[in-house]
Structure 1
Amino acid sequence: MKKVWIDAGHGGKDPGAVANGLKEKNIVLSVSLEIKKRLEANYDGVQVLLSRSTDVFLELAERTSLANKAGADILVSMHCNAGGGSGGFETFRYTKASAASAALQNVLHKEIMDTLNRVAVGVINRGQKADNLHMVRESKMPAVLTENLFLDVATDAAKLKKDAVIQAIVDGHVTGIAQYLSLKKKKSVVVNKDNKVTVNVNGKKVADGVLDAGTVQAPVRAVAEALGTVVKYNAVTKSVNITLK
C-alpha cells in the first residue's frame, strides 16, 4: 500500500494569499480533498492522508511531523501564489533534494502544466525550482510544493474561478502522483446492460445513465453542459452548483 501525504497549505487563522475574491486556504483544501477522492477511487493500493481536511490551522512543524510519523511514501504541499508579476505555475523541491524528489517534481510539473494548457490559454510556466522551504526540507520522503497560479494576478484569478481549471489542477496532481508511484488503475465496474438508460438532451444522446432500484441516475455534468449551463463541484461541501452561462 502506497501512502500519499497531501498538505493543504495555510488554514484557519492563516488564509494564505487573499485577492480578487479568492482565499488560498479554501482553494487548496478543495483541491486536496478532490485529489484524495480521485486517487483512492480510481487506483489500487494507495491511501491518501491529509494534513487537514477542514479549515483548521496547523504549524509547519506539525504538518511534516505527522507525515513523517505516518511513513508516507511521498508528500505534495498544495499552495497558490501571490506577488509574482505576470503570474503562472511553478513547483519547488528542497535545495539539497534527493534524486527521488527531483523525479517527483519532474513528473508533477509536467502533468499539471499539460492539463492546465488543455483547458486554459496563456498559463505561464515559471519552471521547476529549488528552495529552502520547510515542507520540502523537513519531510523524510520525496516532497514537492506546487504553486498553482497567482491570486493577485487578474488573469490567473479569473482562471482559478473556472471549474475546468480547478479540475485540471486536480487531474494533473492525480496523474503525476499515479505515474510516479506506478499505481495501477482499478478495473472498471461493469454495469448490467439492462440497467443502462440512454440520456437525451433536446433529442441528442449525451451519455448513459443507470437505473438503480427504480431511480434513474443521470450524469449531471453531461446533461447540464448540453443545456448550455456551467457546472461546479465543491469537494468541501460535496455539492453541485449549476448556473446559466
Structure 2
Amino acid sequence: MVKIFIDPGHGGSDFGATGYGLREKDLTLSISKRLVNILLNEYDDVQVKLSRTGNQTVSLNERTNAANAWNADFLLSIHINASGGSGFESYIYIGSFPSRSATNQKRNIIHDEVIKTTGFIDRGKKEADFHMVRESHMQSILTENGFIDNAHDANLLRQSSFLDKIARGHANGLEKALKLKRKSAEQVSVASSPSDGSSSNREMGDQRYQVNKAVAGYYTAADAKTGENKKSTVKKGDYYVYKRYDGMINVTKQKGVPGSWINPNNNVTTALNTFRIRVTADELWYYNKPDWNAREGIAKKGEVFTVVDTLTVNGSKMYKLKSGKYITANPQYIEKL
C-alpha cells in the first residue's frame, strides 16, 4: 500500500497569491481534489490523505505533523506562483538529507509529466528551504503550477479542463515515480463530481446512446475531454449511458456497470430521441456547459435548435443542444416542435 499525502497550499484566512479574480487557495484545493479522485479511482493499493478538505486555515506545522503521524510514503504540496513569470516549477529541500537522490529522481519524473500534460513553460527543477519539504519525514516535493498574476496563466487556471490537466500530469508522474499499479479497465470506477459542483454528474439508468462510428474510449471523463490516455476503442452500436460528467459520457454494454468514457463530439450524432425546440422569449441565454453561471451568448426569439439531452442542474431542467451548448428547458421561454 502506497500512502500519498497531498497538501493544497494555503486555505481559510490565508488566500495565498491572488490575481485576475482568482485565489491560490481555491485553485490548489480544486487541483488536489481532482488528483485524489484520479488516484483513488484508477490505481490499486493507494491511500490518499489531504491536509485540508475545504476552506480551512491549517498551519504549516499542522500539515507536516499530520503527514508525519500518518507515516506517509510521499508528500506532494501543490501551489500557484505569483510575481514575475509564467509556467511551472518544482522544488525539493535545499539541504542535505538521506533520501535526497531518490527524492530528486521522483521529483524529476513528476515535473516532466506535468510539463508534458499541461504544456506549461518549464521554469526548472529547483531547491528551496520551504517548510513542507523541510519538515516532512518522507520524500516530498512542492510544485508551483503557473502564475496567478500572469494574464496567460490566469486564463488557463480559470478553465476547469486545464485544472484537470494539471491533476492528470501529477497523477501520471506519481504513477511512474511511485510505481503505482493501475486498476484493470473493468475495475476503474467512474469519476466523481468536482467539489465546486460546477459540472453535472449523474447516473442515467436505462437511457440509451448510439455510437455511430468507432470512437476512442478513456478511463475518465477528464481523459475523454483532453483526448489523452486512451483506454480502448468503442465500436459502433447501441449502449447504455452509465454516467455523464462535464459533457462526457460513460457508455457500457452491461447496464449498471461502468464502461468507457467517450467524447460525444467525436461521434457523428449524439443521443437518441432528439427533438427540436424554438425560442419563444425575446432573448434567452445559452451556456457553454451545464452550469447556470456559464453564460456564453443570447438566442433570439424564433431561433430553432436540436436537443440531444435533458439534464437537471441545481434543481432546474436544462437542454443540451446538438451544437454542444446548453439552454433552459423552461416552457415559459421555449416550445417543443
Query: TM (normalized to structure 2)?
Result: 0.60
- Equivalent in 111, 114, 129 of residue 132 of structure 1: 129
Shift of 1:100: 1.9
Bigger relative contact order (CA 8 A; separation at least 6): 1
**CA distance, structure 2, for counterparts of residue 63 and residue 25 of structure 1:** 15
- 1:210 and 1:218 in contact (8 A); partners too: no
Matched ranges for 1:10-25 at <5 A: 10-25=10-25
The structure in which a higher percent of residues are strand is 2
Shift of 1:217: 4.1
- Equivalent in 140, 151, 164 of residue 148 of structure 2: 151
Percent of matched pairs sharing the same residue = 36
Shift of 1:99: 1.2
Q: Paired residues, what number? A: 225
**CA distance, structure 1, for counterparts of residue 13 and residue 265 of structure 2:** 37
What is the aligned-residue RMSD (CA, Å)?
Answer: 3.1
> Counterpart amino acid of 1:211?
Y
- 2:60 and 2:131 in contact (8 A); partners too: yes
Compared CA separation, residues 217 and 66, structure 1 to 2 (3 A): closer
- Equivalent in 194, 211, 214 of residue 240 of structure 2: 211
Q: Say which SS state the counterpart of residue 182 (structure 2) adopts.
A: coil
**CA distance, structure 2, for counterparts of residue 232 and residue 146 of structure 1:** 31
Shift of 1:218: 5.1
Matched ranges for 1:57-206 at <5 A: 57-84=57-84, 86-96=85-95, 97=97, 98-117=100-119, 123-189=120-186, 197-199=208-210
- 2:72 and 2:138 in contact (8 A); partners too: yes
**CA distance, structure 2, for counterparts of residue 13 and residue 205 of structure 1:** 50
Structure 1 unaligned residues grouped into runs of 5+: 118-122, 234-238
**CA distance, structure 1, for counterparts of residue 66 and residue 187 of structure 2:** 38
- 1:5 and 1:75 in contact (8 A); partners too: yes
Deviations 1:113-164 (A, max 9, x none): 00012xxxxx321100001110000011110000000000001101112223
> Counterpart amino acid of 2:240?
L
Compared CA separation, residues 218 and 171, structure 1 to 2 (3 A): closer
- 2:210 and 2:239 in contact (8 A); partners too: no
Q: Say which SS state the counterpart of residue 126 (structure 1) adopts.
A: strand
Compared CA separation, residues 190 and 61, structure 1 to 2 (3 A): closer
Q: Say which SS state the counterpart of residue 145 (structure 1) adopts.
A: strand
In structure 1, the residue matched to 2:3 is 3
Compared CA separation, residues 218 and 32, structure 1 to 2 (3 A): closer
**CA distance, structure 1, for counterparts of residue 187 and residue 142 of structure 2:** 37
The structure in which a higher percent of residues are helix is 1
In structure 2, the residue matched to 1:27 is 27
Shift of 1:187: 1.1
> Counterpart amino acid of 2:264?
V
Structure 2 unaligned residues grouped into runs of 5+: 189-205, 218-233, 249-262, 271-286, 292-312, 327-337
Shift of 1:198: 4.0
**CA distance, structure 2, for counterparts of residue 113 and residue 211 of structure 1:** 36
> Counterpart amino acid of 2:104?
A
**CA distance, structure 1, for counterparts of residue 33 and residue 160 of structure 2:** 15
**CA distance, structure 1, for counterparts of residue 244 and residue 51 of structure 2:** 34
Q: Say which SS state the counterpart of residue 15 (structure 2) adopts.
A: coil
> Counterpart amino acid of 1:38?
I
